[in-house]
Structure 1
Amino acid sequence: MEQLLAVHPSSAPEPAPTNPRPRWCLAAWAAGLLVAVPTVVTGCRLLDTDAPTPVPQALSFLPWLTLPAALAALLALAARRRLLAGWAVLVLLATAWFTLPYGPDSTSARGPVVERLRVLASNVEFGEATDALVEAVRRERPQLVYVSECDRACVDTLTAALGATPGTDPGTDPGTGLPHRVVVDGEGSTGSVILSAYPLTARPPLPAAMGMPGATATIGGRSVELRLAHPLPPIPRQVDAWKRELGRVAESAAAAHRAGSPMLLAGDFNASQDHAAFRAVLDAGRLHDAARLAGAARTPTWPRELSLPPYVQIDHVLVSDDFRVRSVRFLDLPGSDHRAVLTGLDLHAGR
């Protein structure tokens, strides 16, 4: 009887199974969240649109979005979510592809070199870096200087320090004479100036909240279009204005291209190669970013004065096919939150 009531060990009830992978479910959720932003931003880059806020702001970080995309892929693989892992890998590859420089790596300049020149583009941040700019110009000796956020005091200082014709003022370095200028008069961020060693014929400034002066200069016997770009930044509530102002810059570049004029377009564009509005400027004028041609397309120029290093290149010198780029350097000017761009160029005859 006792044998009949005995329970055989093999027939004892097994403990209820527990979920062995709760942490991997959390990993899958984390992977999905991590890949969401790179998906949206890279998708807009693929569709060639800047879209509404917050996409224009996020596009400035596009190269850095490879990090969350890569982490998402690893988490999804660890959680054995194959579909999610595949999506994250696809987004990672697309993001990495778009970090490559935009546009060709050379110009089609023809004919002999008719002029060698240096161009310096600088945002002096409400005039605070004016003295540092004067020192840089005296040291580097550019023939053209594009200055954004140059208020009246800034213009007066630059004119007094650099404006003498070489050889006419004993107190002026003969290599830094920039006696010609076109100015958009304004205070704070609204003023701008182009300083030149070559005589200038002023062109109407582009309609914009901040100064975007223009001029023509005879350089090496050729009439060259000069334009300073400084559109509004793409902060929330003024993205549409940013797009409109960059659109006017693109129209100016297109007009120079139709006229067959060499063009030097430089300044603080408040846009990187990842913004469709900036690429439209390049495409409309058949222009090239000098930094891209010099192998420095991703060198960041802003912001300088934070605890973190600069992370995005928004200061550019753009050139038409009539130029070849000899060199590009980025200068730190104390007082400014931007790095200045110094470019060595050769202007060709074009025939």
Structure 2
Amino acid sequence: MDRVQTAQTVQTAEHGETAEPVNSSPAEATPGPAPESPPLRPRHRFTAWAAGLLLVVPALVAACRALDTDAMTPVPQLLSALPWLTVPAALALLLAAAARRRVLTFVSVLVLGATAWSAVPYMPQTVISYGLPLARVKVIASNVEFGEGTGSLIEVVRRESPQLVFVSECDRACRSALTQTFADALPHYAAVEEEGSAGSIVLSAYPLRDWRMIPAAMGMPGATADIAGVPVQLQLAHPLPPVPGQVSRWKRELGRVKEAVAARPTGPMLVAGDFNASQDHAAFRAILAAGGLQDAARRADESRRPTWPTEGPPLPPFVQIDHVLVRDFSVREVRFLDIPGSDHRAVLADLDLRGPR
């Protein structure tokens, strides 16, 4: 019998059918089509879409922060809440992982990391102070909201006994109350005498000269104080808020503050007030860079303390827009004080004026 037979035929006894030859060589088996990946389940598809939508705002705002731009509405408004955007970014990462979408998960990690990085500029700033301390200076910066918080501010000033007080939204009645109440303790002042939010004043225990004012919709007076025989540049800052429709004016007025501090590049300086900007805004950081200034709150590791809003809808304060900026001063302490009647907390900075290096 020939042994080269490669297939065998099986006769079925019951039906009389002949089976197909069976190939006994595995190497000659014809491969079938590759199995397709299972389609995304509807639940996972919805989860992936939700993750993508949650990433849009944090990605946009973090990108603008990294590119050092305030862009246009709604970016300036959202930059005020940038650290809080880590919440939707983290939720997006969880949803992307649950949906088992690798690319989306990777993007979520990047966005969360970029958003969390926004906290880095708020870390304590170490500055080596040169020169001997010449005078201890306590400064208060307060927005009294159309003068409504004047009485509360008077109580704070009596209690804290500051040498300099920067007051925004101080109308004529507010100015009159402050100057009369502190005629002995703070006899010198530079003011913009207007009603509503346009009025403002700088009260000083030290003689003032060289009064000046930055052109703006709301008062921004400045002067030079003689402290321990040293001329110190004082400037109140209160630009328009970056509400939709006036972002360009907000940038322009912050730009004027920048020009004012850049015009005096040396010597001690204090710039304080309601900046309507946080350290996440490029226009605010430009002021710091132009004048070689430091935020006293950051120096004291208090730069995450929110100052606005403290009244109105049931929304907790979430952003620090009130600042005391310093040059040639060392920082002892920074505190934030409630001012009933105002929607802002006041900033109190306890400083030491330093002599020449």
- When the two structures are superposed, what TM-score results if normalisation uses the length of structure 1? 0.89
For residues 145 and 337 of structure 2, the distance between their equivalents in structure 1, rounded to whole angstroms, comes to: 14
Q: Which runs of 4+ in 1 moved over 4 A?
A: none
Task: Determine the structure 1 residue equivalent to 2:31.
Answer: none
CA separation of 1:160 and 1:143: change in aligned 2, threshold 3 A:
same
Shift of 1:281: 0.5
* Contact persistence 2:124–2:301 (CA under 8 A): no
Shift of 1:98: 1.0
**Alignment deviations for residues 323-342 of structure 1 (CA, whole Å, 9 cap, x no partner):** 10000000001000000000
User: Structure 2 residue aligned with 1:100, among 80, 104, 120?
Assistant: 120
For residues 248 and 47 of structure 1, the distance between their equivalents in structure 2, rounded to whole angstroms, comes to: 22
Deviates more, 1:197-206 or 1:276-285: 197-206
Q: Any idea what SS the aligned residue of 1:195 has?
A: strand
Shift of 1:180: 0.2
**Letter of the 1:251 counterpart:** E
Task: Determine the structure 2 residue equivalent to 1:250.
Answer: 258
For residues 185 and 229 of structure 1, the distance between their equivalents in structure 2, rounded to whole angstroms, comes to: 15
Matched, 1:187 2:207: no
Shift of 1:347: 0.7
* Contact persistence 1:191–1:211 (CA under 8 A): yes
Matched, 1:265 2:265: no
**Letter of the 1:140 counterpart:** E
* Contact persistence 1:111–1:348 (CA under 8 A): yes
Larger radius of gyration: 2
Matched, 1:278 2:278: no
Task: Determine the structure 2 residue equivalent to 1:219.
Answer: 227
**Alignment deviations for residues 306-346 of structure 1 (CA, whole Å, 9 cap, x no partner):** 322100000000001x1100000000010000000000000
**Letter of the 2:150 counterpart:** T
For residues 142 and 350 of structure 1, the distance between their equivalents in structure 2, rounded to whole angstroms, comes to: 24
Matched, 1:54 2:74: yes
CA separation of 1:61 and 1:113: change in aligned 2, threshold 3 A:
same
Shift of 1:179: 0.2
* Contact persistence 1:229–1:249 (CA under 8 A): yes
Task: Determine the structure 2 residue equivalent to 1:201.
Answer: 209
Shift of 1:104: 7.0
Shift of 1:103: 8.0
Matched, 1:343 2:349: yes
Task: Determine the structure 2 residue equivalent to 1:311.
Answer: 318
Shift of 1:102: 4.6
Q: How does 1:234-249 map to 2 (within 5 A)?
A: 234-249=242-257
Shift of 1:106: 2.8
Matched, 1:291 2:311: no
Q: Any idea what SS the aligned residue of 1:204 has?
A: strand
Q: Which structure 1 segments of 5+ residues have no match?
A: 5-17, 165-176
CA separation of 1:237 and 1:113: change in aligned 2, threshold 3 A:
same
Matched, 1:79 2:96: no
User: Structure 2 residue aligned with 1:143, among 136, 143, 163?
Assistant: 163
Shift of 1:203: 2.6
Task: Determine the structure 1 residue equivalent to 2:135.
Answer: 115
For residues 222 and 40 of structure 2, the distance between their equivalents in structure 1, rounded to whole angstroms, comes to: 68
* Contact persistence 1:151–1:192 (CA under 8 A): yes
Q: CA RMSD in A?
A: 1.6
Task: Determine the structure 2 residue equivalent to 1:323.
Answer: 329
**Alignment deviations for residues 113-135 of structure 1 (CA, whole Å, 9 cap, x no partner):** 10001000000000000010010
Shift of 1:255: 1.5
Matched, 1:159 2:179: yes
For residues 303 and 163 of structure 1, the distance between their equivalents in structure 2, rounded to whole angstroms, comes to: 31
* Contact persistence 1:114–1:221 (CA under 8 A): no
CA separation of 1:103 and 1:279: change in aligned 2, threshold 3 A:
farther
Shift of 1:263: 0.4
* Contact persistence 1:38–1:66 (CA under 8 A): yes
Q: Any idea what SS the aligned residue of 1:101 has?
A: helix
Q: Any idea what SS the aligned residue of 1:90 has?
A: helix
Matched, 1:37 2:57: yes
Deviates more, 1:57-66 or 1:106-115: 106-115
Deviates more, 1:303-312 or 1:330-339: 303-312
For residues 247 and 267 of structure 1, the distance between their equivalents in structure 2, rounded to whole angstroms, comes to: 15
Q: Which structure 2 segments of 5+ residues have no match?
A: 1-13, 16-37
Q: Any idea what SS the aligned residue of 1:142 has?
A: coil
Shift of 1:101: 2.9
Q: Any idea what SS the aligned residue of 2:287 has?
A: helix
* Contact persistence 1:103–1:288 (CA under 8 A): no
User: Structure 2 residue aligned with 1:233, among 238, 241, 254?
Assistant: 241
